[in-house]
Amino acid sequence: MHHLLKTYQGLVPFLATAFGDNVEIALHDLTKEEAPIIAIANNEMSGRMIGDSLTDLGQHILKQKQYEQKDFVMNYKSLTDSGKLVRAASYFIKDEKKHLIGMLCINVNISDYDYLQKTLQRILGIKEQPEIEYQMDHPIEILPNSLEASIKQCVLDTLKELGYPDYVAKGRLKAKEKASVIKVLHDKGIFNMKGAISLVAKELSASEPTIYRYLKNI
């Protein structure tokens, strides 16, 4: 392990304690194949463990080489396997020669806050402000591996956000109601994930062409 990473490794439990249980801290070693996690704290929200590889979104950041112009990226959203919405930030760790050797990732659970914020904005008629995000349109990352489980939970959360009771059958929603669900999912960036359209169609008992039609009308 690079000596600089050992220093950051000691910061992981400190930051986790300072920020509280609602914040996950993960350190990746980019000098190794698959960029495994070498330290993690408060990992209950994602279920990730030491040795787990860098997520697809993390790999995307590296492929875009954003670390060449920036020291960090922040304000991108993630979904956990249980459907919790997370606001994430990643700090690029570089050696003396400016070579990238690691990433320190901070994930904040904002599910309750995000729901309350959007509800208040609708009540008060406040227009939602655009977020400052890294170079990808409406990025959303799936922290664990179960995309289907995350999509299912996200649809359930969206129905709750729109005021539908738990007993409402998703497949029996009217066309206008389904269009509202699709609009919220679109705004969250769900459809930027490969395979999301077919999974959402399944959850809403709709065809993929129908989902595409809703998206076209947004």
Which distant-in-sequence residues (6+ apart) come within 8 Å of 7 by Cβ? none
Shared domain for 63 and 105, answered yes or no, is yes
DSSP state of 211: H
Q: Which domain holds residue 147?
A: 112-216
Domain boundary among 111, 133, 149: 111
Q: Label residue 105 by pLDDT band (50, 70, 90).
A: very high
pLDDT at 117 over 80: no
Please check the confidence at residue 200 and state whether its pLDDT lies above 60: yes
Domain count, the chain: 2
The DSSP line for 189-203 is TGGGSTTHHHHHHHH
- Do residue 16 and residue 105 come from a single domain? yes
Same domain, 105 and 120: no
Higher pLDDT, 9 or 55: 9
> Are 124 and 210 contained in the same domain?
yes
> How does the average pLDDT of the chain come out, rounded?
81
pLDDT, average across residues 58-80: 80
Same domain flag for 102 and 193: no
No. of helices (H) and no. of strands (E), the chain:
7, 6
- 3-state SS class at 28: strand
Same domain, 66 and 18: yes
Task: Kindly state whether residues 152 and 207 are assigned to the same domain.
Answer: yes
Could you write out the three-class secondary structure of 106-159? EEEECHHHHHHHHHHHHHHCCCCCCCCCCCCCCCEEECCCCHHHHHHHHHHHHH
User: In the chain, what percentage of residues exceed pLDDT 70?
Assistant: 76
Regarding whether 96 and 116 lie in a shared domain, the answer is no
- The pTM (predicted TM-score) of the whole model is 0.59
Same domain, 199 and 136: yes
Asked if 95 and 168 sit in the same domain, the reply is no
Segment 173-200 shows an average pLDDT of: 86
Q: What is the pLDDT of residues 134-183, one digit of tens each?
A: 344 444 555 544 667 778 888 888 888 888 766 666 667 889 899 999 99
Mind listing the pLDDT tens digit for each residue in 119-145? Answer: 666 666 666 554 433 344 444 555 544
